[in-house]
Structure 1
Amino acid sequence: MRTEAGRTAVDLHLEAFGSAFILLRPAGAETVHGAASQLDMLEQKVALEGPWEITFDGDNQSPPPLTLSAPALWSGPGADAHGRDVKYFSGTATYRHTFTADPAALGAGRRLVLDLGDVSDLAVVRLNGKEAGTVWTHPFRINITAAVRAGSNDLEIAVTNAWWNRLAGDAAAGDHTRPGAAIFEADADVLPAGIRGPVRLTVQMS
């Protein structure tokens, strides 16, 4: 904080789509950051490595489950190997993973934040059966301090994408019975869907 030409100036660095509250007082200024901006904390990041299991739930769609060594898109560039039903899936896919939390990371003065990296399009996070939060824009991070426990933790990330891929799949199959499919070309590209990652557990220490 500084004074310039009779005005108070505060330098801020925010994540994309980040925000902050600035409280100005006669004796100075205080910046209160939201979860999107914790730049004054030291961070320790641990990647949540596989296996990750993915199950699909969509209207009249039943792709087989997938097991991946790391979280990845189910549709989009590089995802054709998962098969046609997965490529054109629109609905909710749930990523499941079990990780171990070090008791030392749960001490006083520490926050545990789940960083999903990048998501298409919306993700609901549940940890040990408790809903921890929903994210749909950068940064794809959720504070999981209240839900995490020492030892084994069961993580579920339910990702929902738009209806585009299902309509593109209908057009590719020559099926125009679903409203909207008729406007798609048979070779229409699909949109990325799922978690790009990397998924990391971030321990923040004040």
Structure 2
Amino acid sequence: MTQLFAGIAGRSLDIEALREVFAGQSIAPDFTYRSMDEASLDFLHRTVDNSEVYFIANRKERDEQAECSFRVSGKRPELWDPVTGESRSAEAFKQAGGRTSLPLEFAPYGSLFVVFRQPIGVEVQGEAKRNFAVYSNPQEIHGPWAVSFDPKWGGPANVEFSKLLSWTARPEDGIKYYSGTATYRTSFDLPALQGPHARVALNLGEVEYAAQVRLNGKDLGPLWTKPFRVEITDVVKPAGNVLEIDVANLWPNRIVGDSRLPPERRYTHTNIVYNQDTPLAESGLLGPVQLEVIEAKVR
């Protein structure tokens, strides 16, 4: 250790100085990546028993694709989704020079665990071209949408949205300043997407801030981060599908609305201060809500 850091004695321990020392000792970076458009990824690495566990995070609010390289070989890479808890073996990867590289894709501010634990020969290579499905042929569900708000919090029990837009863009004060959960309902027929055996996803587009999806009475779970997408292959019918989406926003809009009311008519009582000039936060299901074909990973 003394020899390792001798090269930076008397110098500040900045990243470039450490890189020089490690390069001088022929120590390769633990994790590197290449992208076409200046991605910003960060990582953590922990050894757990005989497994190497990497957590990779996208630090930008945009989709990213990157070729990621890990200082690991002789173990099959697995991809673990921290949002859904699902895990699977990577099908696209290369091993060379004591490293494993594989193409990864990230949602805005998204993240992945890459786990190396199952031994394989160092000569084994993944044969696929990518590790993630492709979503294609989007078909929009136009509505109209029947929307139910909670009257206890000032919203209308029933209203129709001919198109999706932020609650803050509506003229009704009960919707503009609403905070809480509202339920969107509509029905649709399944268009001819790509053959009778195509896998189908529902993409909600933009949601402010979280959603719960039900299709034909089946609860498909919460969606609280981008992409707001869920597979519906086993639930969707050729015709007469009933879609329900609960959407919840945050509290500031209701507090801003209450600042316009006399105290006895307010819905909230808090020491948090917002006033009439505080900008409202976009809220609700903004869409577009689309059906998409899930294509298999390209080989």
- TM-score (normalizing by structure 1): 0.82
Distance 2:276 2:162 in 1: 32
* Counterpart contact for 1:58–1:90, Cα < 8 Å: no
1:115 aligned to 203, 209, 223, which one? 203
Q: Percent of counterpart pairs with the same letter?
A: 32
Distance 1:128 1:180 in 2: 39
Q: Give 5+ residue unaligned stretches, structure 1.
A: none
How do residues 51-200 of structure 1 correspond to structure 2 at under 5 angstroms? 51-57=144-150, 59-63=152-156, 65-75=158-168, 79-81=169-171, 83-102=172-191, 107-108=196-197, 110-175=198-263, 178-180=268-270, 183-200=273-290
**Greater Cα offset, 6-15 or 91-100:** 6-15
Distance 1:5 1:44 in 2: 40
Q: Give 5+ residue unaligned stretches, structure 2.
A: 1-92
Letter in 1 for 2:235: A
**Deviation, structure 1 residue 105:** 5.2
Letter in 2 for 1:130: K
Query: Cα–Cα, structure 1 residues 175 and 106, in superposed 2: closer, same or farther, change >3 Å?
Result: farther
Query: Cα–Cα, structure 1 residues 10 and 132, in superposed 2: closer, same or farther, change >3 Å?
Result: same
* Counterpart contact for 1:174–1:186, Cα < 8 Å: no
Deviating 4+ runs (over 6 angstroms): none
* Counterpart contact for 1:15–1:139, Cα < 8 Å: yes
Letter in 2 for 1:15: A
* Counterpart contact for 1:103–1:150, Cα < 8 Å: no
* Counterpart contact for 2:154–2:178, Cα < 8 Å: yes
Aligned length: 196
**Deviation, structure 1 residue 30:** 7.8
Distance 1:60 1:199 in 2: 26
Distance 1:53 1:168 in 2: 26
Distance 2:222 2:189 in 1: 22
2:142 aligned to 38, 44, 49, which one? 49
Letter in 2 for 1:66: V
**Deviation, structure 1 residue 18:** 4.6
Aligned to 1:19: 112
Letter in 2 for 1:126: R
Query: Cα–Cα, structure 1 residues 200 and 86, in superposed 2: closer, same or farther, change >3 Å?
Result: same
* Counterpart contact for 2:153–2:180, Cα < 8 Å: no
Aligned to 2:133: 38
Letter in 2 for 1:133: G
Q: CA RMSD in A?
A: 2.7
* Counterpart contact for 1:103–1:151, Cα < 8 Å: no
Structure with greater Cα Rg: 2
- Where relative contact order (Cα < 8 A, 6+ residues apart) is larger, the structure is 1
